């Protein structure tokens, strides 16, 4: 299946999602390229140099994991509340 066939079979919102994803990917690559300069970071007992993009990615993933865990906890509390009623 060619790209033209694939794109023509997508619904309107599928096309919007596809184009938005491509644009977001391009912006992410440009952002990563502009922030490739290394920065020193103080870990407990050592100092390491990491590219700024790696530190930002780590912080983003840690935040996603933290939010996911809070979401699981919230869902568990809702189940307990429903059981008591």
First to last CA, the chain: 54
12-60 pLDDT, tens digit per residue, is 998 899 999 999 989 988 888 888 888 888 888 899 898 888 888 888 8
Angle at 61 between CA 59 and CA 66, to 5 degrees: 95
pTM for the model? 0.54
């Amino acid at each position: 299946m060619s790209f033209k066939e694939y794109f023509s079979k997508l619904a309107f919102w599928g096309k919007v999602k596809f184009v938005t994803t491509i644009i977001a990917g391009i912006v992410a690559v440009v952002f990563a390229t502009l922030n490739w300069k290394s920065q020193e970071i103080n870990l407990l007992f050592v100092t390491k140099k990491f590219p700024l993009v790696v530190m930002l990615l780590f912080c983003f993933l840690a935040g996603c994991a933290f939010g996911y865990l809070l979401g699981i906890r919230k869902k568990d509390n809702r189940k307990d509340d429903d059981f008591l009623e």
